[in-house]
Structure 1
Amino acid sequence: MQHNLKSRDIWTHGGGWPLPDLLRSALASLLILAKQERAAYFASPWITDFELFDNRFRDFAALFPRAGEEPWVRFSDYLAALSGKFDVRIITTENDRSEAFANIPVLKNADRVTFRTTESKFHEKGILAPVFYIEGSMNITNHGVRVRGEKVIYHSGSGRNLPEKIAGAYLEFDRHWKTLV
């Protein structure tokens, strides 16, 4: 069954709940999919760890057995869990924050999480998975998700033929990934 691509603009105007809620919903949905052949991409010039899922009432304990008792599930814990279903590819630039993130033990020990750095002029920001593509001005940092005024566009779709926007993003991300060897 083919589903049409749906898009939604999210404006945060200096914080608020729409962007963190969108990320939690979209990212949690990937954990309930079957194992995937396509990689999940996370691209941002700066990337850091931050509290992603509020687990104080154990709402997300079933999705994160390793972090089930923690009050918050961090972005790094999410990526480690996601690597059980996807190859997780992270594209960033060389900077202290991104390097510190890449050296978090849970990520270094995850078999299917790979980091590649690109030139300092790289400014692409997005999260790409087989059922959605989030693109826009948001760096994948606490400030990008919760503090700064950002605009992102959430594209979703599924079906036998990948929606054109998501398929096109995969062509670009795959091409860029191969140039970073």
Structure 2
Amino acid sequence: MNDERIVRTSGNTGVRIDGILATVLLAELMTPSRHLWLVSPWIGDVDVIDNRAAAYDSVFVDPSSRVYTFAEVLAHITHGGGRLSVVTRPDSYNDVFVNRLLRQAAPTRAQVVQAEDVHEKTLCGDDWLMTGSMNFTYRGMSVNDEIVSYRVDPAMASTARIDFARRFDNAG
């Protein structure tokens, strides 16, 4: 099965990626990928799942009616059995996200690799990937004009994960 959705986001038009990203992360919380990869030069601890109406209580182990951040959700995925690799630039902007993630993630289930020249922007699971021009930051997700492709394609996702492992595993 190869399904793809391309979204052109813009602060001017109000088209955002939030819904697709939240759906992807909710699916990962329920059934974590064996190895989830997040590759982005800049990553902010942005709000990703709004549970203020308690709509997603069944997905969280210890739910609360609030907004969950990117680092929190990724850490929850590691506690659910998923392995997480994050590749980002060694930049102070990323420190809040990285520190929160590593503090909350399951020990030995998350690694952060800092790569000075990384420019790719991809979130990739077992059988899907989200890739494009968008950094995982407030501006990338809410302000800037961006293009993001979400694709369900196990072969393409596998190729991406193999490439990431070759380039970044044990590099951090």
TM-score, structure 1 length as denominator? 0.84
How far does residue 179 in structure 1 lie from its aligned partner after superposition? 6.3
Query: Which amino acid is 1:94 matched to?
Result: P
CA distance in 2, matches of 1:179, 1:73: 29
Equivalent of 1:108 in 100, 103, 111: 103
Aligned residue for 1:64, secondary structure, equals: coil
CA distance in 1, matches of 2:37, 2:88: 11
Matched, 1:176 2:167: yes
Alignment RMSD: 1.8
Equivalent of 1:9 in 6, 24, 43: 6
| 8 Å contact kept, 2:38–2:122 | yes
How far does residue 64 in structure 1 lie from its aligned partner after superposition? 2.2
Structure 1: which 5+ residue stretches go unaligned?
Answer: none
Counterpart residue number, 1:74:
69
Matched, 1:29 2:27: yes
CA distance in 1, matches of 2:96, 2:10: 28
| 8 Å contact kept, 1:53–1:73 | yes
How far does residue 61 in structure 1 lie from its aligned partner after superposition? 2.1
Aligned residue for 2:123, secondary structure, equals: strand
| 8 Å contact kept, 1:79–1:107 | no
Equivalent of 1:136 in 132, 139, 149: 132
Counterpart residue number, 1:118:
115
Equivalent of 1:151 in 147, 150, 163: 147
CA distance in 2, matches of 1:30, 1:17: 23
Structure 2: which 5+ residue stretches go unaligned?
Answer: none
Query: In percent, how many aligned pairs have the same letter?
Result: 26
Higher alpha-carbon deviation: 166-175 or 130-139: 166-175
How far does residue 18 in structure 1 lie from its aligned partner after superposition? 4.2
CA distance in 2, matches of 1:150, 1:64: 30
How far does residue 87 in structure 1 lie from its aligned partner after superposition? 0.6
How far does residue 131 in structure 1 lie from its aligned partner after superposition? 2.1
